[in-house]
Amino acid sequence: MTKYIFICGGVMSGIGKGIATASIARILKEKGFRVTAVKIDPYINVDAGTMNPIEHGEVFVTEDGVECDQDIGNYERFLDENIPRENYMTTGLIYQTVIERERNLEYGGKCVETIPHIPEEVIHRLDRAAKKAKADFVLIEVGGTVGEYQNAVFLEAGRMMRLQRPRDVMFILVSYLPVPKMIGEMKTKPTQYAVRSMNYAGIQPDIIIARSVVPLDGPRKRKISTFCNVAPEDVISAPDISSIYEVPVNFEKDNLGNRIISKFGMRERNRKRTEWSALVRRARSAKKPVRVGIIGKYFGTGNFTLSDSYISVIESLKHAAWHFGCKPEIIWLNAELYEKNRKSLKELSSLDGIVVPGGFGIRGVEGKIRAIEYARTRKKPFLGLCYGLQLAVVEFSRNILKLSGAHTTEVNPNTRHPVIHTMPEQLINIKEQRIGGSMRLGAYTCEIRPGTISYAAYGTKLISERHRHRYEVNNDYRDELEKHGLIASGINTERNLVEIVELKKHPFFVATQFHPEFKSRPLRPHPIFLAFIKACMR
Ligand code: GLN
């Protein structure tokens, strides 16, 4: 029988519920179980594709082409497995399905109601995810915090499931314990209220993960136990630590994995945990710095700037750097600065390498193009990702092909030289404003040209990578670009689309139309990132 573990958040958001879920998944996997993880986003958005990454964080893309929450990326990185489309749902998606079904008379004339029909659809989807993964454990991360109106139907789904299968369902609360500066003492009251909120929903947490800046002490553990009605051994200390990859190791110090499986009356099937511990050691002992600049556009709310929009890129750089025993130093660079003042490009000189990641729209574009020109002419290792490829082609067309005003039609639809443009079916989508879920999404194959940097990196001719874009290199310009030295080293042969470009006379200038960052794993760094970091180290 599949076991279901609901992971809910208490007190506030942003305390690492996703990492906690991914870490529990890792722990259970290492104990020899088949594990999968589901993310529930309590938004009306049908998927994450229409959410602004600057507000919501990165939009992750699965192999099968779902635009989803960045936590799915965490699950993939910790589990080292692909997560399928079944494992992501939003309020919008659930309602959409139920309404469609109602329109088809599939409820046979019944009144369709929030309760029980919405939670029933949720449960149906959880079972489907379990079946697809043939899972021993399904972890379900419920977005938001307990007590808010938005995720109430999902808690209700959990409550109903527990009622139906009392031996197969468990609840974990990831809560936060503040240590107010003026008191200096860790306070448990907000967590007590969070548990009360769960109790109102008819749920009692089985385990509490106590997030805080410092570890939990004995008295606090007992206090939480007494007031929140869980055994002291089920209160898990989860202090801030420097690397997310250490979280599973930390949880295991409090024996979290065995607490979970013993509650289900199970026994661990496997005891070796060498791979992950080796990774943690590798990351810890990495000393030699490698300085990589990420040129993006950032948005500050007050004193706060969200770098979450590039989370997979950051993690990919870490994975590759650790592989070589290097400590990645990531520098955030604001593209808009180079538009205002060309001189500020000088700050790029101290970097070992430059990344121009994915993006949309006009803001910061000219600044990114200037940074790419800098990387090309000053022979700095450069990695372009998606928009990064498109803008590298624009830069090359303007400055080497001398096509003045060359552009992507995303920014200038009337450019004389549309070196980046849309495929015909995408034109219809744009015209009819069919935006959500309509980009080129998910895995596509790519054939690599032998004798190129890309071929040396992958060591194979046929690869498959994930996509998320609407625009493509315009094939009318391909010969001219190649003649001048911008090699199309990767091609999607079914549609004859450029997937990778690279420069010949440059230490490392590679740009991909796809997003290699979605496939990098801590235990299996991505070949393109490895090649890039290697070039940065030189
Ligand atoms: N805006 C570009 C496109 O839609 C690039 C997208 C991206 O970088 N993910 O094609």
Active-site residue identified among 386, 410, 467, 526: 386
Residues of the chain with CATH 3.40.50.300: 3-276
Which class is domain 3-276? alpha beta
- Compute the distance between CA of residue 389 and CA of residue 404 in angstroms, rounded to an integer: 19
**Consecutive H or E run containing 338:** helix 335-340
Of 50, 410, 467, the one to substitute when testing ligand 1's pocket (max ligand atoms within 8 A of C-beta) is 410
Phi-psi region of 386 (alpha: psi -120 to 50; beta: other; left: phi over 0): left
Active-site residue identified among 117, 323, 421, 515: 515
Residues of the chain with CATH 3.40.50.880: 283-420+471-489+498-537
What is the whole-number distance in angstroms between the Cα of residue 293 and the centre of ligand 1?
20
E strands, 240-366, are 288-296, 300-301, 304-305, 326-334, 353-356
- Compute the distance between CA of residue 290 and CA of residue 536 in angstroms, rounded to an integer: 7
Q: pLDDT tens digits for 95-104?
A: 999 999 999 9
What is the whole-number distance in angstroms between the Cα of residue 76 and the centre of ligand 1?
23
To the query of whether residue 117 is one of the catalytic residues in this protein, the response is no
Q: pLDDT tens digits for 388-434?
A: 999 999 999 999 999 999 999 999 999 999 999 998 788 888 888 88
Q: Indicate if ligand 1 lies below 6 Å from the C-beta of 468.
A: yes
To the query of whether residue 68 is one of the catalytic residues in this protein, the response is no
Residue 52: CB atoms within 10 A of its CB come to: 11
Q: Indicate if ligand 1 lies below 6 Å from the C-beta of 293.
A: no
Q: Indicate if ligand 1 lies below 6 Å from the C-beta of 159.
A: no
pLDDT in tens, the chain (538 residues): 999 999 999 998 889 999 999 999 999 999 999 999 999 999 999 999 988 887 788 999 999 999 999 999 999 999 999 999 999 999 999 999 999 999 999 999 999 999 999 999 999 999 999 999 999 999 999 999 999 999 999 999 999 999 999 999 999 999 999 999 999 899 999 999 999 999 999 999 999 999 999 999 999 999 999 999 999 999 999 999 989 999 999 999 999 999 999 999 999 888 766 789 999 999 999 999 999 999 987 655 444 455 678 999 999 999 999 999 999 999 999 999 999 888 899 999 999 999 999 999 999 999 999 999 999 999 999 999 999 999 999 999 999 999 999 999 999 999 999 999 998 788 888 888 888 888 999 999 999 999 999 999 999 999 999 999 999 999 999 999 999 999 999 999 999 999 999 999 999 999 999 999 999 999 999 999 999 999 999 8
- Compute the distance between CA of residue 251 and CA of residue 265 in angstroms, rounded to an integer: 20
Domain covering 283-420+471-489+498-537: architecture: 3-Layer(aba) Sandwich (3.40)
